[in-house]
Amino acid sequence: MDSAEYMLFETALGVCGIAWSEAGLTRVQLPDRDAAATAARLAKSARRAGGAVPSHATDAAERLALHASGEDVDFSGVPLDFTGIATFEATVYHALRKIGRGETVTYGGLAALAGSPGAAQAVGTAMARNPWPVVVPCHRVLAAGNKPGGFSAPGGLVTKAKLLEMEGVYLDGGEPMLPGLF
């Protein structure tokens, strides 16, 4: 990922970031505690952009900002750089990109959609490693019984619940998990 560059941008949820290569996005970073923390996470795998930002990166940032403001955004056309992504995980990410706004799938259900029934735990690992949250909508993946499961992005399950609520999906019967955080 040496050739990847990154940028930060404001959204209604806070400062997000993306990293990219010529092939597509290499990473999406959801807001951390502040812009410096978001930048630090991206800097571990990319370098700050020094020149012109390619149109595919600008387009992705604009789509993410619109999504964060509550708009229904289609991320299917956002190019992703799968360099270094294991074959199983790539298959899972491609299957997950077909799960639409306001829809959810369980880890086991996604395993089946990816052609690996019974691989729910491996799907969970793939979700934890997902470099493109929201673009590859790992927040839409739930544990058995439609329980929240996990979420490795900053804010954990609170962030997952907020992203789902923005799409009309409410965990815990629609009751706020921790009132006042969003």
Number of domains comprising the chain: 2
Q: Does some domain include residue 60?
A: yes
Q: Is position 16 annotated as part of the catalytic site?
A: no
Q: What is the mean pLDDT of the chain?
A: 89
Q: Which residue has the higher pLDDT, 150 or 103?
A: 103
Q: How confident is the model at residue 174 (pLDDT cuts 50, 70, 90)?
A: low
Q: Does some domain include residue 82?
A: no
The DSSP bridge pattern shows strands 14-20 and 25-29 to be antiparallel
Over pLDDT 90: what percentage of the chain? 66
| Per annotation, catalytic residue among 18, 60, 95, 138 | 138
Q: Tell me: do 95 and 162 sit in the same domain.
A: yes
Q: Does some domain include residue 78?
A: no
Residues 82 and 132 sit within 8 Å (Cβ to Cβ): no
Each residue of 45-57: pLDDT tens digit?
Answer: 888 877 788 999 9
Q: Which domain holds residue 148?
A: 87-174
Q: Whole-model pTM? A: 0.87
pLDDT at 170: 86
